[in-house]
Amino acid sequence: LPSTYFFFSIEEMSKHHFLGDTELMVLLAVVRLDDNAYGVPIAQELLKLTGREMALGTIYAVLDRMEQKAYVTSVLGDPTPERGGRAKRYFRPTPAGLRALRTTRKALINLWSGIPLLEGRYT
């Protein structure tokens, strides 16, 4: 069975766009934060939920790449004095981004399932 799932996933890859691990984590953080998805809360959400401290530059590079792929859109908020007069850039997932998330999730679930070694039977 695992080999069937593996080949199913490979076949699906040619039809759909899959997200890399960093893209997946950042996009999930954007979805979770809803209307408050800008650089600082995204970094804090990732640190809180994954324990991974991602540089803000990395987060913006990933988000810029996903904006090019039309997985997210961004709008600028109002400039604030505590940010040195700079505006916040809020991100929102697009329908294509949500589709990519669902496709990646389905593929990962297929890959994870049916592997006894990872289900604790041999530990």
Contact positions vs other proteins (CB under 8 A): 38-40, 55-58, 60-61, 64-65, 68-69, 76, 79-80, 82-84, 86-89
CB 18 within 8 A of CB 104: yes
Q: Which is nearer to other proteins, 1 or 55 (CB)?
A: 55
Find the shortest distance in angstroms from Cβ 45 to other proteins: 14
Torsion (CA) 41, 44, 49, 51 in degrees, nearest 10:
160
Nearer to other proteins by Cβ, of 38 and 101: the residue is 38
Q: Minimum CB separation from other proteins for residue 99, in Å?
A: 18
CB 1 within 8 Å of CB 112? no
Nearer residue to other proteins within complex by CB, 36 or 113: 36
Please answer whether residues 37 and 93 qualify as being in contact, where contact means their C-beta atoms are separated by less than 8 angstroms. Answer: no
Shortest distance in whole angstroms from residue 20 CB to other proteins: 12
What is the closest distance, in whole angstroms, from the C-beta atom of residue 83 to other proteins in the complex? Answer: 4
Distance CA 93, CA 67 (A): 9
Spacing of C-alpha 57 from chain mean position: 16
